[in-house]
Amino acid sequence: MAIECITSTKAMTQSPKQNHGKNEDEESSLVFDASFLRHTINLPKQFIWPDEEKPCMNVPELDVPLIDLKNFLSGDPFAAMEASKIIGEACEKHGFFLVVNHGIDAKLIEHAHSYMDGFFENPLSQKQRAQRKIGEHCGYASSFTGRFSSKLPWKETLSFQFSDEKNSPNIVKDYLCNTLGEDFEEFGEVYQKYCEAMSTLSLGIMELLGMSLGVGKDCFRDFFEENKSIMRLNYYPPCQKPDLTLGTGPHCDPTSLTILHQDQVGGLQVFVDNEWHSIRPNFNAFVVNIGDTFMALSNGRYKSCLHRAVVNNKTTRKSLAFFLCPKGDKVVCPPSELVSDLTPRIYPDFTWPMLLEFTQKYYRADMRTLEAFTKWIQQKSS
């Protein structure tokens, strides 16, 4: 049993002063030690969600389009048009679709999952060598105990930055080795390769998104060249009272595009037509969804959809999430073809670092992040 599993915390409020001006006592928080908490019957109150947000386990399955990328990746223009049409229809409705025959080496995916086990099954003290600091988005997080003190997610995460810039060839490997030690060199190599593969796949998907919106295949691909993205390993241990908590609370991704690979356990749910739906696990497929930044790029045409993750009382669930983000100096502004008198601008210009700062320091991401961020920008400018 780990020490300091539960200590006091202060109530979380969603305000711009969140996590600022605290004294040392206020910084103290409970620690999510999965080796202990996975067996506990009485959940700490910080992990118990309000009744109106508690999970439903038996939800209908979402009919998510399955996009076969084989012929598109082979250069077939007809296949590209067909895929872009299906993707466009999905993105206008809920922003979720699956891709298969995506060109990612199956062995690489298997290694990415197996190395997750190797990391998260370590003692808490070893994982905390990569402890995420408040206000930062990289590192190890045992739940989000350092940021919030209510409605905590039942999960551990390890997040790190990827850059497709030519002067950052081994940014993932270097970060993981420098943070965790040289024993993690192979670990770093696996996720370096995985991120590179995800970046390549995401640029191909951006071609299809550009075609679907009528702005050409190069528009968004060029915008996300030299992307500075985020990779996150999600680890959801069993919970003895899964009906009281959530693995990840309801939110829309603030990033541009999420490419998720989930294991066979299941737990991803999407809010469509005023009810929650599940997405059945498919180990051969990636789940792709639109984030808030791309919703702004599309001038609101494509939807960043509310989703969450539920947990179970028997089996650990794992997922690999690659969050595509533009280079820091890129201005998020919709192409002129998507703006007219009938479809005026919805969101102001911004850069990804601005939105990232907002979600890390001032606002807990939810379904109203982009709306709140827009008001925040307007207040700052005035």
Any idea which residues carry the catalytic annotation?
317
Identify the sign of the CA torsion 12, 148, 296, 349: positive
Tokens of 103: 């060109």
The Cα-based distances of 153 to 97, 113, 237, 331 in angstroms read: 25, 21, 11, 32
C-alpha angle 288-290-296 in degrees, rounded to nearest 5: 160
Ordered alpha helix ranges (H), 140-184: 171-180
Going by C-alpha positions, the residue among 234, 233, 236, 232 that lies closest to residue 315 is: 236
Going by C-alpha positions, the residue among 130, 58, 61, 65 that lies closest to residue 279 is: 61
On whether the CB atoms of residues 292 and 253 are closer than 8 A, the answer is yes
On whether the CB atoms of residues 367 and 251 are closer than 8 A, the answer is yes
Q: Please report where in the chains the tokens 């910084």 appear, as a residue.
A: 27
Burial of 374 (0-12, 13-18, 19+ CB in 10 A): middle
Going by C-alpha positions, the residue among 86, 104, 124, 166 that lies closest to residue 320 is: 104
